[in-house]
Structure 1
């Protein structure tokens, strides 16, 4: 009895000491798994207080966006004007955004790379990139609007978008990215293009929200899971998928997010746990320096933007880890590398205490704004008040219903 009492006291002391970096979800073994990617309890809290000073503006913005989305779509890969090399418009196709026609060649082929400079030709309707972005954004917006308002018309529209993009025989996308981010004159698709589906986790959340109150029929739920299963298999076994898995920068991080999100969605928790455990040595150790620098991202022409994007990926992975008791947030490698160190490296830039002295050909102020938003996300998900303060508004009004600080 005395021994147990001492043990309890020691554990309590340890928890008290580490509360500034430990997430409540990591300490509490009864982790909420209602949603695969987000914190369901935080969503419920925001819903209950949606008309408060803290959330009313964000809620009204959501409803305004959802009302616009009601008038748009549905969207399909069949809308593009270009036919993929496979001969089927059901296959997704896009062009590498940083590639341009070679001005020294009569036909411009092969295209050449200008890192960080987006070629407008890669964003035209001849490919699927823009329409995919619209579909992902509108579906998430409508599903969230349904959750927060209980207005069934938002759910109905979101389900229509999902069916048209993923399921309907005449309009569905095949579950592969064989032709993503091809380079004219070089190849028809690359593993690097897989990052264009980083938003697939938002589709998972939309589906789960629509299933909560049985707004989505069982047949549709099963068919969507079949599509995601086939896409997961492609990610894990295709040449492009294996290539992306073995990259060394933000592409690898966001590849893992897709894999883990889908595995959790399909109730394959043990497999998800394996990927997350491997991320400690395959991702954190190889991408983050002991001082927190992310060298692969700092080498880019938009170093602040890419450092932020990759760290956001690590933060998502860390939160996904809380779903299966894998602690990536507090993990520190033998050489001292950790996600927290990466935050501490970027912290003075988010606070405006240091001037960014690495390359950033795009707006530094916009990149800094996104970095501040990331600190709010991390502060929200891992209960870190200091991080919350860095990006929160002075009036404490939440800019998001998904990530906010109390």
Structure 2
């Protein structure tokens, strides 16, 4: 059964304190909030603490509010101004190049490009890809959504609506709801199923839209956004590339499921969400060994990063599935693999007890940072105090994620 995770005792004591500073706003905090990706009561508790001026909460929200303030006068994100059009000739179609592919030095024109796993080709990044605009849009709307909810200031909500209209609704500037031309390879193809992973931001986008709705999202914007999500979901489930990505037996397939499941739940399609959640059990069987190893990820040149990335997707899926009555967290495959065992496999490395010696291009410390953060988030979501006892990386300043995924450690 699912366990309930709680915010720290400090936050709870703040909520009960009768000697708090004067309220920032007279707005009534909604006490029942349902979110797709994490428990809504956490958002309510954070808002109440912020309203009362609790110092840790106030400090943690500073970065989010600062980013939201920057967005008030920032650019309007769109993918239509790119210099190189996709094969369709339509600037509204998303386009990107496979990041680990490079010109062939043995060919005069460099074609076809060749793969160098884990080595990012700078020619595939920045303005040459629509990914930068899509990522900036997702981050901007997230900051504005939280700022609108926590401060009750309409200026943030209205700006978020402006960004959403431009990126998802306005026919002149919106991104069409498909990824037919994502992660193409010059000399080989114009798009691949692997490009679908570039829109994993849709999981967070669901949360942003739900938080904005709590802040009074314009019904027309909500309807237009849900229409875009429904169209993208349909493309994922029926297109050739979508079906191919669904069949991938590594992080690509896992994050495909996370995208699909989060949108199904958000759109109220709970019966279909339950069916999809049940199919994740097959992924656990094929991707997690009885000892918790994830062989498809360990085969990569960034083995720790990809093991963590895939386990994050499984953790997301376990939480989502639990909201529609499917228990993936406690599921064990016929071969003995399970999500907790995947954590057990990584735990000695996260604790610093054993050195990671498998391939890991780049900074190992950065990869371990992500692994340790994931332990804290999983411990928070599933009430596992042993996970919370894994040393969490130090942070230069508190942030919103650490309030949302506050983690109680087991008594020693």
Task: Give the structure-1-normalised TM-score.
Answer: 0.89
1:404 Cα deviation after fit: 1.5
Q: Structure 1 residue 24 and structure 2 residue 4: aligned?
A: yes
Give the equivalent residue in structure 2 for 1:95.
97
1:77 is paired with a residue of what secondary structure?
A: coil
Q: How do 1:5-16 and structure 2 match up within 5 A? A: none
Alignment of 1:373-392 (within 5 A): 373-392=373-392
Task: Give the aligned partner of residue 55 of structure 1.
Answer: 57
Q: Distance in 1 between matches of 2:394 and 2:260?
A: 37
- Give the alignment's Cα RMSD to 1 decimal: 1.8
Matched, 1:235 2:236: yes
What residue is the counterpart of 2:156 in the other structure?
154
SS at match of 1:240: helix
Q: What aligned pairs does 1:260-271 form with structure 2 within 5 A after superposition? A: 260-271=261-272
Shift in Å at residue 202 of structure 1? 1.4
1:293-336 alpha-carbon deviations (Å, 9 max, x no partner): 00000000000000000000000000101211111111111221
1:315 aligns to what?
A: 315
Gaps of 5+ in 1: 1-14, 16-21, 26-31
Unmatched segments (≥5 aa) in structure 2? 6-31
Note the C-alpha offset of 1:392: 3.5
**Distance between the aligned counterparts of 1:225 and 1:380, measured in 2?**
29
Runs of 4+ off more than 4 Å: none
Once residues 371 and 156 of structure 2 are traced to their aligned partners in structure 1, the CA distance between those partners, rounded to angstroms, is 31
Aligned-residue offset at 1:33: 7.2
Give distance in 1, aligned partners of 2:128 and 2:115: 20
Partner residue, 2:287: 287
In structure 2, C-alpha distance between the alignment counterparts of 1:62 and 1:392, rounded to whole Å = 21
**Structure 2 counterpart of 1:178:** 180
Q: Decide which moves more: 129-138 or 218-227.
A: 218-227
**2:55 and 2:342 mapped to 1: Cα distance?**
33
Contact 2:369 2:393 in 1 (8 A): no
Q: Partners of 1:33 and 1:229 in 2: how far apart?
A: 23
User: Please, which moves more after superposition, 51-60 or 330-339?
Assistant: 51-60
Measure the CA separation in 1 of the matches of 2:338 and 2:264: 24
Q: CA deviation at 1:284?
A: 0.5
Aligned to 2:146: 144
Is the 2:373–2:393 contact (alpha carbons within 8 Å) kept by the matching residues of 1?
A: no
Identify the residue that residue 304 of structure 1 maps to in structure 2: 304
The answer to whether the 8 Å contact 2:329/2:339 transfers is yes
Take 1:251 and 1:371, find their aligned partners in 2: how far apart are those partners? 18
Residues 1:394 and 1:280: Cα distance change in structure 2 (over 3 Å): same
Quickly say closer, same or farther: Cα 1:63–1:33, change in 2 above 3 A. closer
Q: How does 1:356-395 map to 2 (within 5 A)?
A: 356-392=356-392
SS for the counterpart of 2:96 is: strand
- How many residues of Structure 1 are paired with residues of Structure 2 in the alignment? 378
Aligned mates of 2:171, 2:394 — CA distance in 1: 50
Shift in Å at residue 380 of structure 1?
Answer: 0.9
Instruction: Please name the residue that 2:20 is paired with.
Output: none
Work out the CA distance in 2 between the residues paired with 1:101 and 1:385: 49
Aligned to 1:329: 329
